Amino acid sequence: MAKQRLFAASTVERLLPSIHAAIAILWGQIRMAQVIVTVKIMPESPDSDLKAIEETSKKQIAEFGGEVGKVEIEPIAFGLNALKLFFVMDESKGDTEPLENTLKNIEQVQSVEVTDVRRAIG
């Protein structure tokens, strides 16, 4: 009988941190993680104004709840360059598809692709 009580007590002690974490999540005390998203925007032609696309994209990302940290221009072929934007957003926003659809509607944009999503550490 004493061994059964000891076993039950040790099981509860092992499960207690998980139970506390679940309760904290339910009470909203634990924030979702931040994610780093990389989006690649292909312009319609080599003559497209990448600077204008960049500025409009940054505004759209900010309205979505993201914060652009880095912008790169990636050479593709025959003078065509893609625009890569790296931004941070709260994981609780969920799917980036609404943002992708908004970015696709920017003038002179051919396509938009999220190429990477990673959880931020720290």
5-26 pLDDT, tens per residue?
A: 545 556 656 665 666 566 665 6
Helices 50-64, 97-104: axis angle to 10 degrees equals: 150
25-76 pLDDT, tens per residue?
A: 565 555 668 999 999 999 999 999 999 999 999 999 999 999 999 999 999 9
Q: Of the CATH numbers 3.30.530.20, 3.40.50.2000, 3.30.70.60, 3.40.640.10, which one belongs to the domain with range 34-119?
A: 3.30.70.60
Q: How far is CA 15 from CA 2, 5, 29, in A?
A: 20, 15, 19
In this prediction the pTM is: 0.72
